[in-house]
Structure 1
Amino acid sequence: MNLSDICDNAKKGREYALLGNYDSSIVYYQGVIQQIHKHCQSLRDPALTVRWQQLSKELTEECEQVKTIMTTLESFKSEKPTDIQALQPEKRVDPAVWPPPIPAEHRNPVPVKRPNSGVKQQRKESPGLQHRGAGPGGHAQASAKADRPGFTKCKDDKGKRGGDVQGDEGHKKFDGTGYDSDLVDSLERDIVSRNPNVHWNDIADLEDAKKLLREAVVLPMWMPDFFKGIRRPWKGVLMVGPPGTGKTMLAKAVATECGTTFFNVSSSTLTSKYRGESEKLVRLLFEMARFYAPTTIFIDEIDSICGRRGTSDEHEASRRVKSELLIQMDGVGGALEGDDPSKLVMVLAATNFPWDIDEALRRRLEKRIYIPLPSAVGRVELLRINLREVDLATDVNLDLIAEKIEGYSGADITNVCRDASMMAMRRRIQGLSPEEIRALSKEELQMPVTMEDFTLTLKKISKSVSAADLEKYEAWMAEFGSV
C-alpha cells in the first residue's frame, strides 16, 4: 500500500470540498477510507492499527459533513420557481392589447438536477486515477462525442476507441464510454502502475534475460527508425523457469526502465462470475493498453489463464476467455511497418508450467527465454543485495556461503538472509519477559550477523527446486525455446 497515495487522496478530498466540488470530494473521501481499511488488514501492530482506525473514523465524519452540505444545497435546487403570472390578479383580456412579456427564466424552466445525476461523473473521478491529472482545478472532459458508442472526438477531431480525455496536467485519461464503468474503474484502480520502481541493479545475474528484454522493449523506443518492417519489435516474451528466480522482478524492471504504463494481470483480474464479462475484461484490458501505449502487459502464471484447449475438464467460459486473449494478442503485436514504435504494447508472460500452455499462445509469445537458478556469481550478488542494510561481522565470507547454497533459487536466498539477520535478535530476547522485551532499545538489537548465524540458518532452510524439475525445464527449452 502506497502511503503517499492515501495522503494525496485525503488532500484532494479536502481541497474539492473547499472549492465546492462536493461530488468529487465524497468520491475521494470514500476512496481514502477504503484504502485505509485495506492497509489495516495488512498491519500486525495492534497499536498502529488503532491509530489508522481512528484516522478512518475522522475522515468518515468529514465525509458525512460534506454529504450534509450537498443534501442541503440539493434541497434548494429542487424548489420550483414561483410562477409570477399565477400571483397576479385576473384581468380581462383585451384582444387589442399585447400581454406583458414573460421573463426569460420562466419560458423554458431548467430541469432540476437530482442528487443521483452525478453518479457517472463520480465513477470517472475514482481516487485510484488521481495521478492521471484530474486535479482540484477542474475535471477531465471529452471535447465531443461521435455517433458510435465508445468513440470520443479528441483534440485532432479523430474518432478514437476509448477516447483521449485530457486532465488538467496534460496526462491522458481513458474514457470508458461504451463499457461498464465498474469494469473500467477496477482495471484502472487495480492493475495500472506508472512506476513499479524496480531497476536492473535490483536484480542479480540474469544478464542474458536483461539483454533480450532491453532489445525487445527498450531499444525500439530509443531507435524507432531502425525497428521497422522485418525488424519490428517482438509481439511477446515468455519467461520460463522455476519459482522464485526473478521473473516478476524482471517484468517490473522493464516497465520502470523504459517508462511504460505497467499492467500487472493475474487470473483473478480477468475472471468474473457473470457470463460474457470475462471476455469483455480481456478486450477492455487491451483497449486500455493501446490507449496508454507504450505499455507493458505482464501476465503472471499465464498457464492458469490460457492452458491447453480441448481437454476434457475445460469449461466453455474458459475456452471463450482463451480465444479472446489470443485474438487480442494478434491485434497488439510489435509495431508494424509504418507504425510508431512509441505506441508499442509489449506482452510479457511468466509461468512455472510451460508444458501446460496452449500451442497457439506459445506461437504468439515469439521469444521464450529460460530464467535459471542463480549462478555462483549471481548468488554472491544476491547475498550482497539482500544484506546491504544489515551489519555483517568480519568473519562472514559471502563466497563460502554462496558455495553452500548452490541450487537455491533467488527467493530461497532471500529467505536465508532474512532468517540469518534475525538470529542475533532471537539470542538477545531469549529468556526475557514481554515487559523486558518491550523495554529493549533499537541499538541493543542492532547486532552484526555472524558466520555462525548463516550456518544455523542453512541447517533449517533447504532449497525449493528439485533436480527433476530442472530437467523438465531444460527439456522443454531444448524443444520450444527461442532465445
Structure 2
Amino acid sequence: MSVNITEICENTKMGREYALLGNYDTSLIYYQGVLQQIHKLLATIKEPNRKQKWQQVRQELAEEYEHVKDINNTLASFKTDQPRGGQVISCDYMESPRYEEPTRDPDVWPPPTPVEHRPSPNIRGARPSHPRRSDAPVRRGGAAVPPARGDPRAVRRANQGQENNRGGGRRESKNKEKAKKELEEGENKRFDPSGYDKDLVENLERDIVQRNPNVHWGDIADLSEAKRLLQEAVVLPLVVPDFFKGIRRPWKGVLLVGPPGTGKTYLAKAVATECGTTFFNVSSSSLSSKYHGESEKLVRLLFEMARFYAPSTIFVDEIDSICSRRGGSSEHEASRRVKSELLIQMDGVTGATGQDDDPTKIVMVLAATNFPWDIDEALRRRLEKRIYIPLPGAEGRKMLLEINLKDVDLAADVNLEQIAGRLNGYSGADITNVCRDAAMMSMRRRIQGLTPDQIRAIPKEELELPTTMEDFEMAIKKVSKSVSSEDIEKYQKWMEEFGSV
C-alpha cells in the first residue's frame, strides 16, 4: 500500500495545530500516525539521499512527539476532577482556593465537556480551560493578570478558543475517532509501562535501535560464511515463514566468537539493517543497577518488551561480562541472580508465549564475545548457533583495503595485493589503523617543523597528496598486529570442541 506524502503533511499539520490548541491527547494520536506512515514510506524508498532526509524528518517529528507527551504527562499530574455545580477548587499551582459559579448560563460558561475532550489548563501558552469574558482577569500561578487590550492576535485567539470550546466538542470527537482509525490501520506499537517501573521502561526503550544503522552485507569484507548463517537464522524466517516451522523453527540464540576487531559488532549492525525487525542493542551497563533486585527486573522487562515488539532481536555485546561461569569464588550473589534470570528468560523466550511455530513472533538473542571459554555452560547451550569470526584471509584483507581507501588518492605504485600479503595475521581493526596511518604520512612530511600559523597557510592541495607505497611500508612497520598465534589456536580449539556452525 503506497503512502501518500500529502496525507503525511496534512496529519503533521493537524498534530501541531492540536498541540497549539492544548488538545494534547488528539495531537499525540496524529503524531503517532504520522510516524507510522513515515516508517512505511521509508520501507519503499531505495535512494540513500532521499531515505536519509526522510529519516531526519522522522527523528525531528519523534522529538516533537516526545515533547508533547512530556507536556501532557505534566498536565495530567496537575489535573483535578471537573467541578459540578458550585464548589471550591484547590490546585497545587494556585495560591488559594477559588469558588466557581454553577455552570448553567451558556453566555457565561459553556456546559462541562466530557473528560476525554476537556481542554488542558493554561500552561506554556495553551488556551484557558474555560472561555472568559474579555474583561475577566486570567489567573496564572495564583496572580490575576488582565488580558492585553488592543492586541488583535490575542482577541482572535480568544474568539477561536471560545468557538472551539462551545461548538468544537463534536468536531473534535470526530477528528479523534478518525485519527484513532488511521492509527489502528498502521499502528506503531508502544509498550505499555503499566505494572512496571516507568524509569526502567524508558531506560530500555533508549536501547531500541530507532534509526537505521545503515550497514549492509556488502559493507562487510569477506565473512561470507558468517553472513550466510546469520541470514539463515534471522532474515530467512521472516521471508519464508511457512518453511521455518516445527523442527525447522528459527534458532533462538546465536553466538559470534572471534578475536577482537574481526567485525562481530559490525555484523550485528548489518543484521539490524537487513532483517527489518525491532533490534535491542544491550550492553552490561543497560542491565546493571545499584539497587537490590532491579537488575533482574531489567532482564525480565527486556524480554517482555522484546516479545511485545516481536519479531525482534536482542544483541548483547561482550556477553561474557554479564554471564560468566557461575560458582566462582569471586562471584557476587546479585550477579548470580542476574545470570539465572537471563537463562530463565532465554529458555522461555518462545515457549512461554506458545508461539514456537510462528517465526514472525520469534525473539532471537544475538551475542558476541572475545572470551567464549568464560561463558557459563547453560548459556552456551541456549546459544544454539556458535559462529567463529576469523581473521580476514588474503581476499578479505584486499577488500578491507579497498573499503578503507575508497576516499583516498593512491599513487600509481601502490599495489593492494602486495600490501594485503604483508598484512597476514592482522585483524580488520589493525588493517584500518594501517590505512589511517598511511593516509597521514604525506601531511606529516609537509608540516614537519612548521608552526600552527604556517600550517594554516598551506594550500589544501599540498596537504592532500596521493598516498605512496613507501607510506604503506612505513605504516606497516609502525602498526603491529593485535592478535597472537596462541590466541588463534585457543579460539580454534574452543570451536572444535563447542562450535556449532
Is the TM-score greater than 0.5?
yes
Q: CA deviation at 1:419?
A: 1.1
Q: Distance in 2 between matches of 1:104 and 1:390?
A: 72
Match of 2:151 in 1: none
Q: Is the 8 A contact 1:240 1:350 kept in 2?
A: yes
Q: 1:224·1:341 contact (CA, 8 Å) conserved in 2?
A: yes
SS where residue 196 of structure 2 aligns?
Answer: coil
Residues 371 and 21 (structure 1), Cα distance of their counterparts in 2 relative to 1, 3 Å cut: same
Aligned partner of 1:453 in structure 2 is 471
Per-residue Cα deviation, 1:238-271 (whole angstroms, up to 9, x for no partner): 1111000000011111111111121111110000
Deviation at 1:340, TM superposition (A): 2.3
Give, in whole Å, the separation in 1 of the partners of 2:378 and 2:194: 32
**Paired residue type of 2:490:** K
Aligned to 2:345: 328
Give, in angstroms, the shift of residue 454 of structure 1: 0.6
Equivalent in 278, 298, 302 of residue 285 of structure 1:
302
> Contact 1:77–1:113 at 8 Å: present in 2 too?
no
1:147 counterpart residue number: none
Q: Does 1:307 align with 2:327?
A: no
Alpha-carbon offset, residue 296 of structure 1: 1.3
- CA distance in 2 between counterparts of 1:168 and 1:349 reads 35
Partner amino acid, structure 1, of 2:453? E
What letter matches 1:343 in structure 2?
K
- Equivalents in 2 of 1:78, 1:429: separation in Å? 74
1:81 aligned residue = 100
Matching residue of 2:481: 463
Q: C-alpha separation between the residues in 2 aligned to 1:419 and 1:231?
A: 48
- The 1-side partners of 2:18 and 2:102 are apart by 35
Secondary structure in 2 matching 1:369:
strand
Aligned to 1:51: none
Q: Aligned residue for 2:42?
A: none
Alpha carbons of 1:104 and 1:429: their partners in 2 closer, same or farther (altered >3 Å)?
closer
Equivalent of 1:424 in 442, 446, 450? 442
Shift of 1:19: 4.8
Matches for 1:232-247 after TM superposition, within 5 Å: 232-247=249-264
The answer on 1:258 being equivalent to 2:269 is no
In structure 2, do the counterparts of structure 1 residues 384 and 337 end up closer, same or farther at CA, with 3 Å as the change threshold? same
Give unmatched runs, 5+ long, in structure 2.
1-12, 32-66, 79-92, 105-109, 124-171
Q: How far is the alpha carbon of 1:22 from its aligned partner?
A: 8.1
- Secondary structure in 2 aligned to 1:217? helix
Match in the other structure for 2:287: 270
Q: Amino acid of the residue matched to residue 330 of structure 1? A: D
Q: Which amino acid in structure 2 is aligned with residue 326 of structure 1?
A: L
Residue identity matched to 1:307? S
State the shift of 1:315 in Å: 0.6
In the TM superposition, what is the alpha-carbon distance from 1:166 to its structure 2 partner? 5.7
CA distance in 1, matches of 2:447, 2:15: 45
**Counterpart secondary structure, 1:204:** coil
1:163-182 paired onto structure 2 within 5 Å: 170-182=187-199
1:373 partner letter: L
CA distances 1:48-90 after superposition (whole Å, capped 9, x unpaired)? xxxxxxxxxxxxxx99xx99xx99xx769974414699xxxxx
2:497 pairs with 462, 467, 479, which one? 479
CA–CA separation in structure 2 for the residues paired with 1:422 and 1:252: 29
* TM-score, normalised via structure 2 length: 0.66
1:415 to 430, 433, 449: 433
2:294 pairs with 1:294: no
- Identify if the C-alpha distance between structure 1 residues 13 and 409 changes in structure 2 by more than 3 Å, giving closer, same or farther: farther
Q: Which residue of 2 aligns with 1:185?
A: 202
Cα distance change, pair 13–395 in 1 and its aligned pair in 2 (3 A): farther
C-alpha displacement at 1:189, in angstroms? 1.7
Deviation at 1:192, TM superposition (A): 3.1
Q: Deviations over 1:208-229 (max 9, x none)?
A: 1111111111111111111100
How far the C-alpha of 1:191 sits from its partner, in A, is 3.8
Contact in 1 for aligned 2:246/2:357 (Cα 8 Å)? no
Q: Which residue of 1 aligns with 2:412?
A: 394
Structure 1, unaligned runs of 5 or more: 1-10, 29-61, 86-102, 117-136, 142-153, 156-164
Task: Note closer, same or farther for the CA distance 1:443–1:177 as it changes in structure 2 (3 Å cut).
Answer: farther
Deviation per CA, 1:299-351: give whole Å up to 9, x if none. Answer: 00000000011111111110110011001101125997763211221111011
Residue 380 of structure 2 is aligned to residue 380 of structure 1: no
Alignment partner, residue 318 of structure 1: 335
Letter in 2 for 1:262: F
Residue equivalent to 1:90: none
Q: What's the CA shift for 1:21?
A: 6.3
CA contact (8 A) 1:266 1:301 kept: yes
Report SS of the residue matched to 1:297: strand
Q: TM-score, normalised by structure 1?
A: 0.69
Q: 1:398 to 1:169 in 2, by over 3 A?
A: same
- Note if contact 1:416-1:454 (Cα within 8 Å) is conserved in structure 2: yes
CA deviation profile, 1:97-151 (whole Å, cap 9, x unmatched): xxxxxx976xx9xx998999xxxxxxxxxxxxxxxxxxxx99xx9xxxxxxxxxx
- Once the two structures are superposed, the pairs formed by residues 20-419 of structure 1 within 5 Å of their partners are 20=22, 79-82=98-101, 170-333=187-350, 339-419=357-437
Mapped to 1, the partners of 2:422 and 2:19 lie a distance apart of 61
Q: Following the alignment from structure 2 to structure 1, what is the Cα–Cα distance between the partners of residues 17 and 433?
A: 44
Q: What is the alpha-carbon distance in structure 2 between the residues aligned to residue 259 and residue 112 of structure 1? A: 39
Change (3 A) 1:266 1:77: farther
Say whether the 8 Å CA contact 1:183–1:281 is kept in structure 2: yes
Aligned-partner Cα distance in 1 for 2:476–2:17: 54
Show the counterpart of 1:443.
Answer: 461
Give deviations 1:416-448, integer Å, cap 9, x for gaps: 111111111212222222112223343332221
Check conservation: 1:194, 1:262, Cα contact below 8 A.
no
Q: C-alpha separation between the residues in 1 aligned to 2:102 and 2:17?
A: 38
Alignment check: 8 A CA contact 2:207 2:282 kept: no
Percent identity of equivalent pairs: 71
- SS of the residue aligned with 2:342? helix
